[in-house]
Amino acid sequence: MDSMDIKNSAADAAFEEAVKSALALIGRNSVQSAPCAESPFGRGVAQCLAAVAEDARAHGFTVGEGDGYYVWAEIGQGDLFGILGHVDTVPIGEGWTAEPLGEIKDGVMYGRGVLDDKGPMILALYAVYSLIAEGRKPKRRIRFIFGGNEESGWKCIERYLQKEEIPPEGISPDADFPVINCEKGVAHIELKLKKPADLLSMRGGDRANVVMPLCKASIDGSYPDAAQVRGVAAEEKNGVTELTAIGKAAHGSTPREGDNAAWKILQWLALNVGGEYVGLRDMLCDDNGKGLGIDCRDEKSGALTCNIGIINTDSEKITLTLDIRHPVSVPRSNIEAKLKTACGAVGAETVAFHDPLYVPQDDELVRGLLSAYNECTGEHASPISVGGATYARALPKAVAFGPIFPRQANTIHMPDERASLTDLRRTFDIYRAAFAALLFE
């Protein structure tokens, strides 16, 4: 068997094993749940962290475990290079046509975590396995870092940074190809507005970073001749009108790929009740923050996006949690100040944030990853900017690298999260090529 046969054989075998390993990991529901003895993020997260630790040990990696917050797995010698991802997922949600805990159907892998982020991390891990199986020797210490709380607060990576060695550079396979060298700033801001007296309740969403797929409201009064709004059902009971709106979930960083159910309720109220609701609709029902007075853009990262992820009411207030992705050149403090003064808010408080990321296009890391991508795809792509927040921000110098291809349907945070086996194999091959060039002799 010549050297090319050895390479192909090692790659083919590793990819087949990666598919099996990814399916097994996706088969464990790892939405954050009640703390348990093994992890503060719940039993499902604990099981996934234990599974990747066992897998890495079986392939000769040194493994470190962080009290159920994270697991790291390392191999090689020399300067440290990080590959950062996570095993937790957003809630499964409704509307699936395939098994949400993993199945392959008609050449497509379905399941929560196929793209975000179990699948890509396993593909990257097995890409390294395959290079070592070929007899290649790492010239860097390659450290995989698996977090357990990326979707619900980043407490895992915060804990890692406090207790462990920090790689000076690395990648996060948790976004898009070709290479993301620019990530917008992220701010989750809780906005409190005065509630109209006749609005009895309004509630929807459970994650700021998900476009709201379902919203319900109750309003005092009967509206038998109400104008219809697509996706909104109205039912009158004892002088109270109950509204239910069905939207479409999407990642909060790409609100135009979803259909926000809260917007539908506000549109119905503006059309049929009028008054204060017209102002609320005009203030809140856009994805660029214009109604709130915070719209802005820059050349590096594009326009601000704004998503209503959560809405609730009490006797006096409407409380919204906004997911705002702002340009890298616009300080978060500017956004906060405008929200507090421009929209008559009762209160506005930042409950979570991530500062922007920017690595120049001519940086050696960016050029090396881009070269591997272009070589494998035959494209002549350039780095891109996104609104998504990845663990790349956790390191002094890092970028996001895959797994979503240009023109590929992005089903992250949606029902039927999926990727074709063809695209998964392309991702695996790109990671192999990049790691071979950057991390191996």
Please confirm, yes or no, whether 16 is among the known catalytic residues: no
Can you give the pLDDT at residue 1? 39
Nearest-angstrom CA–CA distance, 230 and 142: 51
> Quick one: tokens of 244?
């239910």
CB 138 within 8 A of CB 33: no
Give the least confident one: 4-18, 62-76, 282-296: 4-18
181 has pLDDT over 70: yes
pLDDT, average across residues 21-25 = 98
Can you give the pLDDT at residue 346? 74
Work out the percent of the chain whose per-residue pLDDT is above 70. 98
Contacts of 20 (CB under 8 A, 6+ apart): none
Q: Which of 55, 74, 88, 117 is catalytic?
A: 88
> Quick one: tokens of 331?
């300080």
Can you give the pLDDT at residue 340? 83
pTM over 0.95: no
Give the least confident one: 28-32, 301-305, 325-329, 387-391: 387-391
Can you give the pLDDT at residue 345? 66
- 391-408: pLDDT as tens digits: 999 999 999 999 999 989
4 has pLDDT over 70: no
Can you give the pLDDT at residue 342? 66
Instruction: Give the chain's mean pLDDT.
Output: 94
Nearest-angstrom CA–CA distance, 439 and 441: 7
How many CA atoms lie within 13 Å of 327's alpha carbon, on the beta-carbon side?
16
CB 187 within 8 A of CB 324: yes
- 194-216: pLDDT as tens digits: 999 999 999 999 989 899 999 99
Can you give the pLDDT at residue 2? 44
> Quick one: tokens of 246?
């069905």
pLDDT, average across residues 281-287 = 95
Contacts of 375 (CB under 8 A, 6+ apart): 433
SS (H, E, C) the chain: CCHHHHHHHHHHHHHHHHHHHHHHHHCCCCECCCCCCCCCCCHHHHHHHHHHHHHHHHCCCEEEECCCCEEEEEECCCCEEEEEEECCECCCCCCCCCCCCCEEECCEEECCCCCCCHHHHHHHHHHHHHHHHCCCCECCEEEEEEECCHHHCCHHHHHHHHHCCCCCEEEECCEECCCEEEECEEEEEEEEEECCCCEEEEEECCCCCECCCEEEEEEECCCCCCCCCCCEEEEEECCEEEEEEECECCECCCHHHCECHHHHHHHHHHHHCCCHHHHHHHHHCCCCCHHHCCCCEECCCEECEEEEEEEEECCCEEEEEEEEEECCCCCHHHHHHHHHHHCCCCEEEEEEEECCEECCCCCHHHHHHHHHHHHHHCCCCCCEEECCCCHHHHCCEEEECCEECCCCCCCCCCCCCEEEHHHHHHHHHHHHHHHHHHHEC
Label residue 152 by pLDDT band (50, 70, 90): confident
Can you give the pLDDT at residue 347? 81
Q: Which of 150, 287, 417, 423 is catalytic?
A: 150
Nearest-angstrom CA–CA distance, 173 and 87: 12
Nearest-angstrom CA–CA distance, 257 and 249: 8
Please confirm, yes or no, whether 349 is among the known catalytic residues: no
